[in-house]
Amino acid sequence: MSKPLRIGLTGGIACGKSVVAAYLKERYHVPVVDADQLAREAVAIGTPAYDAVVERYGAEICRGDGQLDRPRLGHIIFADPQERYWLEGQIHPWVVEQMQQAIQTCHHPQILLVIPLLFEAHLECLVDQIWVVAVDTATQLARLQQRDGLSTEAAQQRLAAQLPLATKITQADHVIWNTGTLAELYAQVDRLWKQT
């Protein structure tokens, strides 16, 4: 069985990666593997990463139901790069392993790997093409604040934790600009899909 074309979908936070991925899945039936979803599974109750997080930060990092308090954890790791690197070290190896398994068992001609930290985690080797979803910085900041209910300072911390979007754009095979309407976004994706 030949390997599928591995498309790496990335971009800045709050740029619309999930919207593009959902459209490709629905319109073209492309299998989608989402690194963020896998990262959530990696720290589910009872996993080694969950146990490591609780050991490092104490029981107060958990909500009443035992799940990790993601906003509290986010506050810690985005305020301190060393803590973020530590957490990524607990999560990334398992996430990469799951993505590799998905590629090996894929029976579709293409597979979409949604990897927000594709460049930051040096995962370019996992993909054949890199698609970056982009918006201007002001739009990105506003969408992030609205989506996650963050202060300007907290939103800027999250933007600073990733490579600048301009850098990602220079390393992309294709750039999808999400600055217009949904119809315009989908039209760009359609044109790009026809080239694959």
Residues at the binding site for ATP are: 14-19
Torsion sign across C-alpha atoms 59, 60, 62, 65: positive
Rounded CA separation 166/158 (Å) = 16
Angle between helices 35-42 and 81-104 (to 10 degrees): 110
Question: What are 173's two structure tokens?
Answer: 């095979």
Beta bridge partners of 130: 8
Binding site, by residue number, is: 14-19
Residue 108, phi-psi category: left (phi > 0), alpha (psi -120 to 50), beta (remainder) = beta
Tell me which residue of 34, 31, 6 sits closest to 18, measured CA to CA: 34
Tell me which residue of 62, 96, 56, 59 sits closest to 80, measured CA to CA: 56
